A and B are shown apart, each in its own frame.
Chain A
């Protein structure tokens, strides 16, 4: 059951992040918020990595992931500065629709009825939340 304890910690911590960010980006440039987030995140993840998975390999090309991540997070935080957390948050979390579609297109994953219904619900959810007054 250790995985459940880890998961609960993860959910609580990750849920409070957009709430704090929403408060911050009212006054501060979202990119500056991200800069300080990354500044503290790097030593922390390095410590966690050394503690839980010492001696695992790395590749400098993986830094490219960071460029995409910074762009994605920058757009999300910018949306929080002008939009609603209760709408933007769920839409951002629906990014798994894109992951699922890419899996179907490039990895030849099977298109099941369950997946089709899930994608339809996701698209409808984005439409409802995006059009909310």
Chain B
């Protein structure tokens, strides 16, 4: 599968997951949902590793970077849920979506030297407009 089909499948699954999480937040605390989400993911991955006899072997640097990214995403999500609890969803959600779309893209252009053309800029602009229109 090429990268586009992979990310499209990921987008469909993630969108469906967020839909169910939104429904479940009527009954459960968002941080508890996030915790169960991580526990379930770890169980699923451990089962996959056992079946495939795959060993999670990495260098010390890769381990540190993996832990760092795990810290970033879990702490970031926790703060996002706390922001939603304190602020208005209609303000918090679009700001967060636009932020996490723009900043990694800028990092990719600046540090990874990924090519930028008019089509990409237009695509990102459409994504941001979509996020704003769907969130407000």
A residues adjacent to B (C-beta < 8 A): 2-4, 6-7, 9-24, 27-29, 31-42, 44-46, 48-49, 52-53, 56-59, 62-76, 78-80, 82-103, 106, 114-115, 117-119, 121-122, 124-133
Bound state CA distance, A126 and B4, in angstroms?
Answer: 9
Bound state CA distance, A99 and B14, in angstroms?
Answer: 8
A99 to chain B, nearest CB (A): 5
B5 to chain A, nearest CB (A): 8
State the interface size on chain B (CB cutoff 8 A): 103
Closest A residue to B71 using CB positions: A40
Q: Cβ of B90 < 8 Å from any Cβ of A?
A: no
A14 to chain B, nearest CB (A): 4
Known: A59-B28, A118-B129. A45 touches B83 (CB 8 A): no
B residues adjacent to A (C-beta < 8 A): 1-4, 6-22, 24, 28-29, 31-46, 48-49, 54, 56-58, 62-63, 65-80, 82-84, 86-87, 92, 95-97, 99-101, 103-105, 107-109, 111-112, 114, 116-117, 119-120, 122-127, 129-136
Bound state CA distance, A21 and B112, in angstroms?
Answer: 12
Known: A21-B69, A93-B97. A83 touches B41 (CB 8 A): no
Residues of B within 8 A of A2 (CB): 86
Bound state CA distance, A88 and B3, in angstroms?
Answer: 8
For the complex of A and B, list the 4 residue pairs with the smallest distance between their C-beta atoms, beginning with the closest.
Answer: A66-B40, A98-B15, A83-B3, A118-B133
Closest A residue to B24 using CB positions: A62
Q: Is the CB of A96 within 8 A of B31?
A: no
Known: A24-B69, A31-B45, A85-B105. A65 touches B33 (CB 8 A): yes
User: Given known contacts A48-B78, A69-B40, A119-B130, what 13 new A-B pairs fall within 8 Å (CB)?
Assistant: A38-B41, A40-B71, A49-B31, A49-B32, A52-B78, A62-B40, A67-B44, A73-B41, A78-B6, A83-B2, A85-B105, A97-B15, A114-B133
